[in-house]
Structure 1
Amino acid sequence: MAGMAGVRLRGLQATHLNGLLAVCKGFDEDKGRWEVVLENGEAKAVKNDNVLQVLEPGTDILMQNGSVLHVTIGRVSVLNQMEQEDRETWELLQKEVDQFSMTHEVRTELNCPDGWPQFSIVLTGDPSSVMGARKALPEMLKPFGLEIPGPKVKGDTEPEANKVEAEAAETVEVEGLVMKSMERRERPSRKR
């Protein structure tokens, strides 16, 4: 499952799918659609307008009955800058990821799909080990300036002021640029 990017579905006519998280397998040029796999394992082909590529750091996408977990970490540019400007820190991060794998008995991979704006960490293993590793992930990343929130526990409630409906617009900041997702709208055709 590494090499796939996390996405959120939006603006679909099948409204029950809007707001769901998925991993993106790639783009099918012939169909002009993204091939995505939902958390329940169901595959879908969706248009570019229906895929939100930027997720909040700490967003979890749980796959394969809990044995694979994609955790959105942040912008790829942060990793690229670390690799280019601070090679020692980059190598230390790689060693820390390897040590984390052994300590928590899960496979841990930095996941940076080509051309994608964000990277994630993919945890693979026994579901209980994966969840234990997820709880420890923020502490492992913190020394590298990669801060993410801890996992949300099922049943956690957010204050009403923080709840956002799946259909509502999301605002995300990426490298100083603020983007607001909106429902797809039909554009009037040009008459010549």
Structure 2
Amino acid sequence: MSVQKILTWAGALAAVIGAPAAVAQQSGTISFDGKVTAASCEIVGEGADQTVTLPTVSVNALPAEGATAGETPFDIQLANCSLAHSTHTQTGSQSVTAYFTPNANVNTAFGTLLNTTDAASGGAQNVTIQLLNGETDQPIDIGNTVPTDESSLGNLPAGQFDADNNQVTLNYLARYFATGQSTAGDVNATASYVLIYP
């Protein structure tokens, strides 16, 4: 061990002994809060797995980063939503939304879905799929913070259900989103989601 290293360690030790308050600032505690609810909905319509077909567009429609084209509506239909023993039985209603989970198919820089068809297989380059709230036309940042209550939904559409109305339709739009100058080719993307009850 060199003298330099010995002096460095000695200095570090003296700092620890001489400044106990500084040590306290270098540590902490993280608490986690959550809730499991008995509220539930069933995915109906086209089922949990569906395919949304976007129109064929020209590369001229996607010339540079941020360009969009081919808006296509789709929805997630829910039924048999139950408040069963939920704390919301007191207020008489419960909200539900679909949270799109982050995974390897998400472009985290833009919050969009990556094209899973590569160039060698004929895939378009610099083209992703962007999801939007179908009610407000606001982009959804896929994989963003999980909403814990109605005030933290961001741009996620949410529906309300109660004892008398147990059906909810969540409306969305999907469109091409360019991350640069696009090239011609196929575009395929997959989004995974889970129902949550904020």
Q: What's the TM-score, normalizing by structure 1?
A: 0.25
Q: What's the TM-score, normalizing by structure 2?
A: 0.25
Q: Which has the higher helix share?
A: 1
Q: Larger C-alpha radius of gyration, 1 or 2?
A: 2
Which is bigger in relative contact order (C-alpha 8 A, separation at least 6)?
2
